[in-house]
């Protein structure tokens, strides 16, 4: 017989973000408010623990660790959105847009985020 508790177990979803970026920090707060199942956990890129999780590349983008896979840039953002409360899952329609186009828009914002939104001297969530 299947244990009913198993049906409610969810694998934690880890979001790795830039803790010094105001846009990123505000996004973490926004995700937390809209995460009805409380599945997301967060880790700032500036922490030592990140080095033990991501060993093959420097982190220069938002990163999502989900079911043993790593997603970056627009793919990470959209996978986060589809797991939030309604209406945010509707953003999943943008998976139909080719990734190189989505990532180009993501890169534009990423390059200018600290100029447009500001920067923190330390992470408020660590």
> Can you give the pLDDT at residue 115?
84
Q: Does the CA dihedral 120-23-53-72 come out positive or negative?
A: negative
Residue 126 in domain: no
DSSP annotation of 119 reads: B
Tally of domains within the chain: 1
Residue 4 in domain: no
Output the CA–CA distances (angstroms, integers) from residue 45 to 25, 29, 58, 60, 96, in the order listed: 12, 16, 9, 9, 29
> Can you give the pLDDT at residue 83?
94
> Can you give the pLDDT at residue 126?
46
Residue 125 in domain: no
Range of the domain at 18: 10-117
Residue 84 in domain: yes
- Which residues, other chains included, contact 55 with Cβ-Cβ below 8 Å and sequence gap of 6+? none
> Can you give the pLDDT at residue 47?
75
Residue 90 in domain: yes
Backbone angles phi, psi at 74, to 5 degrees: -65, -30
Residue 123 in domain: no
CATH number for the domain that contains residue 75: 3.40.30
Residue 5 in domain: no
User: pLDDT tens string for the chain (126 positions)?
Assistant: 444 444 445 667 999 888 888 888 889 999 999 999 899 999 888 777 766 566 565 566 888 999 889 899 999 999 999 999 999 999 999 999 999 999 999 999 988 887 888 776 555 554
Residue 108 in domain: yes
């Amino acid at each position: 017989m299947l244990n009913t508790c198993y049906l409610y177990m969810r694998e934690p979803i880890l979001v790795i973000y830039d803790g010094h970026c105001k846009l990123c920090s505000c996004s973490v707060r926004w995700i937390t408010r809209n995460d009805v199942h409380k599945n997301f956990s967060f880790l700032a890129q500036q922490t030592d623990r990140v080095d033990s999780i991501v060993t093959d590349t420097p982190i220069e983008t938002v990163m999502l660790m989900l079911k043993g896979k790593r997603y970056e840039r627009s793919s990470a953002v959209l996978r986060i959105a589809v797991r939030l409360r309604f209406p945010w899952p509707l953003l999943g329609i943008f998976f139909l847009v080719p990734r190189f186009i989505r990532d180009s828009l993501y890169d534009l914002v990423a390059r200018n985020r600290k100029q447009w939104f500001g920067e923190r001297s330390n992470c408020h969530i660590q």
